[in-house]
Amino acid sequence: MSSPSSPPGERRWRCGACSECGTLKIELPPRPTRNDDDDDDDYAEPPQKVIPGCTYGRDLGKVRRHKSFVEAAPSHEPSKACFTVYEVPYNAYVDFPYDEDNPPTDLRPIFCVRIYDVTPEACASRARELAVRLHEATRKTRQNEIDGGFYDRIEIVAFPLDASLSVEEKAKQCTAYDDAERACRMATGSAAWYIPWRIMDQRYRRGLMIIDRLDLDSEWEQHLLMEPENRGSLDCASYDKALSDQQDLAPEESPFGSFSFVRWQPRLASEEMEGETVPSAADGLNFRTETFELFAHTLADQFRVREGMDIFYIHFAADGPLGDELRRAKEVETETS
């Protein structure tokens, strides 16, 4: 979170994954500069640490282009298909050697949002289609290319459940599965398919989205409520009115579908952070169900994807906590195997 007293270019954040630490003072990575008197032969860009999803997309300017890729993602239960979609920026005037049959796995963003399709019709083909369409429909909500050029990936898990189950029961099954999946991926010691903590959240360590109901044949993309800056036809007043109207609707009243935003694993800190009371262990599962029209809004306002990417790439990945976590997980796996 930015602080009014912070110098220009500096942000003050609390990293949830480092929640015992004090406020972090993190400076945005400076763009390389040069003097007009520099000789082109003597000038060299300063080396940058390449973090998939972060630094490789910077400074392309007007020649920047994007290409999306779809891959089957790991799943510790083969019956639960998982697909990921992400995009990679590239220079329009430089050969880009990747295509659908040869995805840029070394450039795949390591920050991801996990979404569970628990509809009775959930399957591999639907998960793939849903991943592609959701990635495109929520692109402007999730990404902020102006500020750092950070990228994420969306993962859709085909997790069919009985429609008669309560939201709480669905959430319990999805979170248990997600914990198991994260443990399996962490045991590899690789960040290639990393599942991040909610490092932007001072109250809960983990979070995911559950699609309870969605008619893929409907025009749901056209009805996602987006922030005014992402949808020029909707001014702030109209947006606030539309948001209020949607929040007043019961989830089952939406003609398109409904979803749930789920958080779990409360952080048991000893003090209040940013004015929020830290939940107790009894509040282990927190969820809220909305009409599907609010999906993009929730990604931005409650899931806080952009803020999460900022903290993740600038601090968690670049400063070392990610590497330390992966190293510890690999050591534990080696000791127990």
Q: Render 96-123 in DSSP notation, one character per residue.
A: ---BTTB--GGG--S-EEEEEE-STT--
- List phi, psi (to 5°) of 287: -145, 155
User: Cα(first)–Cα(last) distance of the chain, in Å?
Assistant: 41
Cβ neighbors of 304 (< 8 A, separation 6 or more) are 200, 201
Inter-CA distances, 153 with 58, 91, 114, 301, Å = 17, 20, 9, 18
Give the span between the Cα atoms of 279 and 266, in whole angstroms: 6
pLDDT by residue, tens only, the chain of 337 residues: 333 333 334 444 456 555 534 333 434 444 444 455 555 454 444 444 568 877 554 556 667 788 999 999 999 999 999 999 999 988 888 888 999 899 999 999 999 999 999 999 999 999 999 999 999 999 888 876 555 578 999 999 999 999 999 999 999 999 999 999 999 999 999 999 999 999 888 889 999 999 999 999 999 998 887 665 544 455 666 666 666 777 767 889 889 999 999 999 988 654 455 555 555 555 589 999 999 999 998 988 888 888 888 888 888 888 788 888 898 888 887 888 7
Ordered strands of the 153-158 beta sheet: 64-72, 82-91, 153-158, 112-117, 204-214, 257-266, 285-291
